Structures are given as structure tokens and as C-alpha cells.
């Protein structure tokens, strides 16, 4: 949100950082999806699991050249869990762009997009 006038990254939640990244990627016509991971209990008491593996990145998508990317979003103080680091290593080994972003600029670096 520093691009939108927020004074410090310490004020931003991971959700805020994630939304800023999604907005910027949309402006650049980059396809990006938000991955909802975890289990929730439905109104009738059953559990619903998204089916994504542990460590799956918060954002994923592809560029116009077909290159797929995965972005694990953290705020300034957020820690990467071991399963998140392992997921990033694994998808990189298959040629995907992947990494941890704490800002829009870091997300753009991960997916190798030049700043305007």
C-alpha cells in the first residue's frame, strides 16, 4: 500500500499486501488467482477442505507468455513456514517462477516484470 499512500509496511496485514499485488497484476493484464487453503466447518457441521496441498502459495497465475508463477505473500514480519519454502523449491525445480513477496515490488521481481 505504500504506492497508495500508506506510511509503513508494518501497518499492512498479509491480506492488504495480497490485495495490492492482485490489483497491480490486474492492471498489467496478468492472470492471478488467490488460493484459499485450509479446512472450514460448514453450517451443517461437515468439514470442507480446499484440496490444495500444505504450503501452496497464496497467489498463483500465469503471464502472457504462459510462464506460471506462485507467490507466497507475507507482511513485513511474517514468517515462511517450512512447508511453504518446500513448495516454492519444488515448483521452481519444474521451471515455475516462485518466491516470497512482502510488497508489490517484490511480487513483480518474482514474476520478472519491469516496473513502469
CATH of the domain at 62: 3.40.1350.10
Residue 75: which residues within 8 A CB-CB, separation 6 or more? 9, 10, 12, 13, 14, 16, 17, 102
Domain count for the chain, please give it.
Answer: 1
* pLDDT tens-digit profile, the chain (116 residues): 445 444 444 589 999 999 999 999 999 999 999 998 777 888 998 888 778 888 999 999 999 999 999 999 999 999 999 999 999 999 999 999 999 999 999 999 999 976 55
Q: Is residue 6, in this structure, part of any structural domain at all?
A: no
Q: Tell me what pLDDT residue 50 has.
A: 76
Q: Tell me what pLDDT residue 110 has.
A: 97
Q: Grid coordinates in use for 69?
A: 508463477
Let me know: does 83 contact 54? Beta carbons within 8 Å: yes
In the sheet that 68-73 helps form, which strands lie side by side, from edge to edge?
31-34, 59-62, 68-73, 97-101
Q: Tell me what pLDDT residue 103 has.
A: 96
CA distance 116 to 110: 16
Q: Grid coordinates in use for 16?
A: 492488504
Q: Please give the residue range of the domain that contains residue 35.
A: 12-110
Q: Is residue 116, in this structure, part of any structural domain at all?
A: no
Amino acid at each position: 500500500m505504500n504506492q497508495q499512500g500508506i506510511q509503513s509496511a508494518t501497518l499492512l496485514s498479509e491480506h492488504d499486501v495480497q490485495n495490492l499485488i492482485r490489483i497491480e497484476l490486474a492492471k498489467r493484464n496478468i492472470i492471478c488467482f488467490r488460493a484459499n487453503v485450509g479446512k472450514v466447518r460448514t453450517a451443517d457441521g461437515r468439514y470442507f477442505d480446499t484440496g490444495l496441498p500444505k504450503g501452496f502459495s497464496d497467489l498463483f497465475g500465469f503471464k502472457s507468455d504462459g510462464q506460471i508463477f506462485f507467490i507466497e505473500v507475507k507482511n513485513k514480519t511474517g514468517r515462511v513456514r517450512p512447508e511453504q519454502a518446500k513448495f516454492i523449491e519444488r515448483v521452481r525445480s519444474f521451471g515455475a517462477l516462485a518466491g516470497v513477496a512482502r510488497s508489490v515490488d517484490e511480487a513483480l521481481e518474482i514474476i520478472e516484470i519491469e516496473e513502469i
